[in-house]
Amino acid sequence: MPEQNITYEDITPLLLKYPKDQRHALAIMQDMQRHFNYIPRKGLEALADYLGCHISGLYSMATFYKSLSLKPKGRHIIKVCDGTACHIRGAVNLVSGIERVLGISADEVTGDGEFSLELVNCLGSCALAPVMVVDDEYYGKVTTDRLPEIFDALRGEARP
Amino acid sequence: MNYTILVCCGTGCIASGSLSVVEALQNEINSQGANAEVLKQIKKTGCNGFCENGPIVKIMPGGISYYKVKPKDAKAIIAQLGDEPVEALLYRDKGKAVLTQKENPFYAPQVKVALRNIGEIDPCSLDDYLARGGYDALKKAINMPPNDIIAEVEASGLRGRGGAGFPTGRKWRTAAGYDNYPKYVVCNGDEGDPGAFMDRSILEGDPHTVLEGMAICALAIGANEGYLYIRDEYGLALKHVEKAICDAEAAGFLGSNIFGSGKGLNLSVVRGGGAFVCGESTALMASIEGRVGEPRAKYIRSVQRGLWNMPTVLNNVETLANIPVIINNGGKNFASLGTEKSAGTKVFALVGKVKRTGLVEVPMGCSLRHLIYDIGGGIIGGRPFKAVQTGGPSGGCIPADMLNLPVDFDTLTSYGAMMGSGGMIIMDDRSCMVEVARYYVNFLAGESCGKCTPCREGLRQMLAILTDICEGRGKEGDVELLEEISETVLDSSLCALGKSAPNPVITTIKYFRGEYDAHIKEKKCPAGVCTAITGFEIDAAKCTGCTLCKKSCPVSAISGTAKSAHEINKNICISCGACREACRFEAIKTVQKGGLANAD
Amino acid sequence: MLIKIDGKECGCKHGEFILEVAKRNGIEIPNLCHHEGLPGQGCCRVCIVEVEINGWRNIVTACVYPLERECEVFTNSPRVIKQRAMVLALLHSLAPGSSEVSELCEKYNVPSYRRFVKKNDTKCILCGLCAKACESLGTGAISTVNRGTGKAVTTPYGEPSYECVGCASCAKVCPTGAIMVEEGAGSRKIWGKKIPLLKCKKCGEPAGTYMELRRAAEKLGEGMPELCEACRKKEIAEKLASIYGY
């Protein structure tokens, strides 16, 4: 959802799930990230207001924690595990394969907003290296020739 | 006869399709309808550890185990219950079919303490946990004076399984000694070491064990509140832990009145934000408090002033999973396993270029060789073993001539590596040790919190130098400079992340100096990994024209017709090495970019 | 409690930091990110020293290391000299534009590492003292952002901050003078924000930005001040003099 379409009515329910306490700042931002696919500026401002803290501290957190993003991500989030086991079992080739197929680099979003690509730390599925996770689905022992088929299927999925 | 069919539903097996296997098995049972004279029940269990061969299905009683099960196999499995096993689904060791885990070379040498329930119970069922003696230890501890609980943990010799190996009993005793309240108990489930997944498996497969361990700790130190800090990526673990807390509270094992004793412990789950540094205790606590996960100077330890400046005990998931066993069977009993200074067992994640990949639990003190060759079955494709990386980014690489080293806290540390959380990444001759060092430094440069100069700036410079070396721009003196920077980063960084960050560089220089020299002086990568200085050529004499390399090439750089020697177009080739992995005839050799053949 | 610093016996209180004790005893330990009003930053690591307790020697950070037992401190041991030189060299490649860092490098004979990648003529050493000052004053206009080698200090979204009152405390505490403050006719520009200045009724010099003075007045529950700091002090002194008849 683009920033201009987000209203405080969208944000408030996410805040009210938690008591007004600094220690819930991270959890609320994670919920926002899930809900909007990023942390909208309005969201950060509303959260600062709700917790009675400065926006700078929240901005600092939003840029520090990798699970939070200030820019919208793609509809499907491709996470390629670059843990050591995956790294020595071909994660680098997998990433360059995805880059070739989708025409984006890590931390970028495809022009149509369908996919974003992320390199993540170990996902703890080392036995299936190299591992890729799209949305919440795991793909183990991925070879680059399987990629077009996987992405085409995801593209075809109806929008909710 | 009643049968229970245990289907592994850990993250690994789910990725391999175990949920559809469950569905197919259930449909098969349903289709037999009420006529069935035997009762069959399906249980979704936690991770069996042998993820590479998932989905895993185990039939109880008897324990016949099936591997790589597909939904279409459901019919045969159900039809042959209590009959002849389904031959095709059994694990094969050197061609011989293996019926149960007891005979399986991957499982047979293991001693399961922390993992005792995993794979045997449904992690979402409190009854399953209770049926295996769950919460007995807590019931016992509630009537013990705190001092006795601590004494038992001290007697066990248990040391923290998260990395540093600090004696757990001593930590508890220190925290118990402070008189300011509230105190906190925190479980560190922010497993960040690349190549380690024991904590995930325990949280997913046996969450109540961890809660019970925390409750016992709370009784010992006098805490009423606790937190579990779990990586946000571990969806299944989060779900199971949250359910376990609800169930345990409803049953009166947690909450304000444990077993009606008037003592209480309220637990909450905090989802990690995705920062490796939050595995460091003070950073983790900052994160729970809702701040940026930056560590602070630890001259005053967190047992004294931790969460919100109050006494706090932070224990790792695996450490806590051992606690109920220690209380139930006694500390001495626990200490009888393992070595004198490293008691008990340790869970290792055996990953990388090893034949049998997975999670294994063995007594401390067993040799690296035993782990890698007896349990792991050696190197994939029979290639030569080169190194094992232990302890994640804080650990180091151990070379082949040290395979007889016993695995315990102090031995590994004395060789420049570290036990860490138990990740063991096995590398063969096609792993470049300079590139591995670069990989870890790159990882840490991105994961450092960036607060102190040596860690942030030291890693920045080290990364630049290592990248230069990997890309053929290394200079004489680079290795010495890397060592010089390493010394300062180790000595003067603020937290444990920086204080151990140079270990992968130091150990690879110490044990694999020749590879650095080859990159710097000859501009060549002996392992054929560093793409900037590596090219590939097909040896026409060895090539059989099987076309496997051509199929594996992601950029169609290989030409040739079946049964005739193939050729690589150097202008298109991106040096990814996929062809070399695919070739079964050793026909693809590495050459220096520019055409000079590598003398192996 | 008695401790030894470089062989000299020094008295100290339990829990006192090494840096304070050294300073009191005239022993110089170089540092950049330490500020008496904002203690505990401990991140530039220039003030590292070696501490020996029961035969164990460790590198510690003098500005945050609390003295809790008898020990011996070495501020110029070979190990300290070596590590401090590397820390300074690393800081120099981060902030080649900082004369403070260059001077320390010269003073402590830091060799130049030509292999190091230098950042472009910046002065900031990323110690975060500015953000700490801003936060502790209750303004919270700037903070550190990102992590690892991408660390920086900025206002949220890098835009002029709504919350900044232009007090320039960040610039005052900065050890390397890295924060730009442009004092123009009637206004001050900082962090990309232009804030009008209020002139002192007596001397005509700027008394501060309108926003910072209002903030201070609100906190103290007083009216807006009309004089600059210097004139205000002078006025109080004159008042006292007239009362006590100096």
On the question of pLDDT at A1 being above 80, the answer is no
Helix (H, G, I), strand (E, B) or coil at B560: coil
pLDDT at B445: 94
pLDDT tens digits for range B358-396: 899 999 999 999 999 999 999 998 999 999 999 888 889
Domain termination site, one of C38, C72, C107:
C107
Q: Do residue C135 and residue C96 come from a single domain?
A: no
Neighbours of B108 (CB within 10 A): 14
**Domain total of chain C:** 2
The letter for the amino acid at C86 is M
Average pLDDT, chain C: 92
On the question of pLDDT at A128 being above 50, the answer is yes
When pLDDT is cut at 50, 70 and 90, the band that residue C153 belongs to is very high
pLDDT at B245: 98
Q: Do residue C163 and residue C224 come from a single domain?
A: yes
The rounded Cα C36 to chain-centroid distance in angstroms is: 8
pLDDT at B555: 86
On the question of pLDDT at B595 being above 70, the answer is no
Looking at the domain covering B433-521, what would its CATH class be? mainly alpha
**Count, residues in chain A:** 160
Q: Do residue C150 and residue C238 come from a single domain?
A: yes
Residue C112: inside a domain: no
Looking at 3.30.70.20, 3.30.70.360, 3.30.365.10, 3.30.300.10, the CATH number of the domain B531-592 comes to 3.30.70.20
Q: Percent of chain B beyond pLDDT 70?
A: 98
Q: Do residue C98 and residue C138 come from a single domain?
A: no
On the question of pLDDT at B483 being above 60, the answer is yes
pLDDT at C244: 81
Q: Do residue C34 and residue C94 come from a single domain?
A: yes
Rounded to an integer, the average pLDDT of B304-324 is: 96
Q: Do residue C228 and residue C147 come from a single domain?
A: yes
Q: Percent of chain C beyond pLDDT 70?
A: 100
Chains in contact with B, counting 3 or more C-beta pairs less than 8 Å apart as contact: A, C
Neighbouring residues of B173: CB distance < 8 A, sequence distance ≥ 6: B150, B154
* C143, C146, C157: residue with CB nearest A57: C143
pLDDT at C237: 87
Per-window interface: A 104-143 vs B, CB < 8 A: 120-129, 131, 136, 138-140, 143
pLDDT tens digits for range C86-110: 999 999 999 999 999 999 999 999 9
Q: With beta carbons less than 8 A apart as the criterion, state whether C153 and C144 touch.
A: yes
Domain B345-428 has CATH 3.40.50.2300: no
Q: Is A101 on the interface with B (CB under 8 A)?
A: no
* A25, A66, A90: residue with CB nearest B290: A25
Superfamily of domain B2-103: Glutaredoxin (3.40.30.10)
Q: Percent of chain C beyond pLDDT 90?
A: 72
CATH 3.40.30.10 domain range(s) in chain B: 2-103
pLDDT at C199: 86
pLDDT at B95: 87
Beta-bridge mates of residue C109: none
Spatial distance between the Cα atoms of B431 and B424, rounded to a whole number of angstroms: 14
pLDDT tens digits for range C4-29: 999 999 999 999 999 999 999 999 99
CATH number of B126-335: 3.40.50.11540
Which residues in chain B touch residue C82, judged by CB atoms under 8 angstroms apart?
487-488
* Closest chain C residue to A71, measured at CA: C157
Q: Do residue C100 and residue C170 come from a single domain?
A: no
Spatial distance between the Cα atoms of B553 and B570, rounded to a whole number of angstroms: 13
Spatial distance between the Cα atoms of C222 and B462, rounded to a whole number of angstroms: 55
Among A119-133, B166-180, B331-345, C182-196, where is mean pLDDT lowest? Answer: A119-133
CATH of the domain at C52: 3.10.20.740
pLDDT tens digits for range A52-80: 999 999 999 999 999 899 999 998 999 99
Helix axes B433-447, B503-521, angle to 10 degrees: 130
Interface contact flag, B458 C90, Cβ < 8 Å: yes
Rounded to an integer, the average pLDDT of B301-306 is: 93
Cis peptide before C78 (omega within 30 of 0): no
Q: Which domain holds residue C223?
A: 129-244
pLDDT at C246: 63
When pLDDT is cut at 50, 70 and 90, the band that residue C235 belongs to is confident
Neighbours of B575 (CB within 10 A): 22
On the question of pLDDT at A121 being above 90, the answer is no
Single pTM value for the model: 0.92
State which H helix or E strand residue B443 sits in: helix B433-447
pLDDT at B600: 41
Interface contact flag, C148 B461, Cβ < 8 Å: no
Per-window interface: B 200-259 vs A, CB < 8 A: 200-201, 232-235
Rounded to an integer, the average pLDDT of B87-106 is: 91
Rounded to an integer, the average pLDDT of C218-232 is: 83
Which residues in chain C touch residue A60, judged by CB atoms under 8 angstroms apart?
143-145
Q: Do residue C139 and residue C187 come from a single domain?
A: yes
When pLDDT is cut at 50, 70 and 90, the band that residue A86 belongs to is confident
CATH 3.10.20.600 domain range(s) in chain B: 345-428
Rounded to an integer, the average pLDDT of B415-442 is: 91
Per-residue DSSP letter, B524:
-
Q: Do residue C102 and residue C182 come from a single domain?
A: no
Rounded to an integer, the average pLDDT of A24-50 is: 95
On the question of pLDDT at B578 being above 90, the answer is no
On the question of pLDDT at B599 being above 50, the answer is no
Spatial distance between the Cα atoms of A129 and C78, rounded to a whole number of angstroms: 47
CATH 3.40.50.11540 domain range(s) in chain B: 126-335
pLDDT at A160: 52
Q: Is C146 on the interface with A (CB under 8 A)?
A: yes
| A&B contacts, CB < 8 Å | 153
